[in-house]
Amino acid sequence: MHKTVQDIINMKKEKKKISVITSYDYTLASLCDKAGIDVMLVGDSAGMVMLGYENTIPVTMNQMCMFTEAVSKARKNSLLVADLPFMSYQTSIEDAINNSGRLIKAGADAIKLEGGSIMAETISAIVDVGIPVMGHIGLQPQTTMLSEGYKVQGKTKDSAIKLIEDAKELEGIGVFSIALEMISHEVGQIISESVRIPTIGIGSGVNCDGQVLVVQDLLGMYDKIKPKFAKRYMNLSEDIVKSLEEYKTEVESGAFPAKENTFSMNEEELKKLREALGS
C-alpha cells in the first residue's frame, strides 16, 4: 500500500522530514518511487521541463492528466499529488471541483493549487467533496511570476505577516500540507512552527517540515534556469550528451550494432533462403 495523506501528516508529528520530488513520466517516477521518496508531485513545472514552455501558464488539464496517469502507473510507495494548472480552478468553484476530480481519476491522491486566503472558498469546496488539497504560497509561478518575476517572498514584516496568516487560514480550511516557495528561511520557520500540518519548502530554508525539488534540477538535466535553491546532485545532461555522441560515432563507424545486439537466422534456413533467391 502506498503512503496516504494521513501518513504524511503523521510524519510532522513524528518529527520526520518529508522528501518530495516532482515527477512527470513513468521511467523517472519508477526510480523516484524506488528511492523511497515520500511524495511525488506532478507539478505544472512539467510545462517548462517536459514541454519547453517559458513558464507554467500554457499548461492544460489534458497535459496534467496525461503526466499524472504516467506517474500513477509507476508509483508503488509514494503519495501522489498533482497540480491544478493555470485557469483550471480560478474560473469557478465548479471548474475547480471538476478539474480536481479529473486529476484524482487520472491517479492522483491529492491536488495542489496556488494561492492563500484568496483561494479559501475554492479550496474549502474541493476539501468538502473529499479531495485532499496541498496549498501553495510564497512565490506562485502562475501569478506572482507574471507581476514580479522570480523574487524571494516574505522579506518585509508586512509580507511575512500576510504569508503567516495565509498559512493559518489554509490550515483552518483543511489543507493537509502547504508548499512554501521561495520564502525567506526565517518566515519558512515561523510558518512551519505556526501550523500543525506539514510545510514543504522549495527555497524556503531547512526548517520546513519537508523539501521539494524539480527532479530535472536535482539530476542536472535542465539548464534554462538555475535557481539558487536547486541543489544539483549530479550532472546528468553531460553524461547523456556524452553517451549520445558516442552512439552517433559508433553508428557512423559501424561499431554499433555489434554481434551481441544482432539477431541471426539459423544456418540451414539461411541456406534455403539463398537457394530460393538463387544466390
Provide the annotated active-site residues.
181
C-alpha 40/C-alpha 213 separation (Å) is 10
Total residues contacting ligand KIV by CB under 6 A comes to 10
Nearer to ligand KIV, 45 or 189 (CB): 45
Q: Cell triple for residue 67?
A: 503526466
Cβ 53 to ligand KIV shortest distance, Å: 12
Nearer to ligand KIV, 164 or 212 (CB): 212
Nearer to ligand KIV, 113 or 241 (CB): 113
Sequence-distant (6+) residues with CB within 8 A of 238 are 220
44 binds ligand KIV, rule: CB under 6 A: yes
Whether 212 and 201 have beta carbons less than 8 Å apart is answered as yes
Helical (H) or strand (E) element with 97: helix 93-105
Closest residue to ligand KIV in the complex (CB): 43
CB neighbourhood size of 268 (10 A):
8
CB neighbourhood size of 30 (10 A):
16
Q: Of 70-99, which residues contact ligand KIV (CB under 6 A)? A: 83
Distance of CA 67 to the CA centre of its chain: 10
Nearer to ligand KIV, 140 or 189 (CB): 140
Sequence-distant (6+) residues with CB within 8 A of 192 are 180, 199, 207, 208, 209
Nearer to ligand KIV, 35 or 244 (CB): 35
122 binds ligand KIV, rule: CB under 6 A: no
Q: Which string of x and - marks every residue 3-42 that binds ligand KIV (by CB under 6 A)?
A: -------------------x--------------------
Q: Please identify which residue in 24, 39, 43, 169 interacts with ligand KIV, judged by CB under 6 A.
A: 43
Cβ 34 to ligand KIV shortest distance, Å: 21
Q: Of 161-220, which residues contact ligand KIV (CB under 6 A)? A: 179, 181, 202, 212, 214
Q: Of 224-253, which residues contact ligand KIV (CB under 6 A)? A: none
C-alpha 150/C-alpha 141 separation (Å) is 8
Q: What is the dihedral of CA 169, 208, 57, 161, to 10 degrees?
A: 40
134 binds ligand KIV, rule: CB under 6 A: no
Nearer to ligand KIV, 74 or 183 (CB): 183
C-alpha 65/C-alpha 69 separation (Å) is 6
Whether 36 and 77 have beta carbons less than 8 Å apart is answered as yes
Q: Cell triple for residue 36?
A: 523511497
Q: Which residues here bind ligand KIV, judged by CB under 6 A? A: 22, 43-45, 83, 179, 181, 202, 212, 214
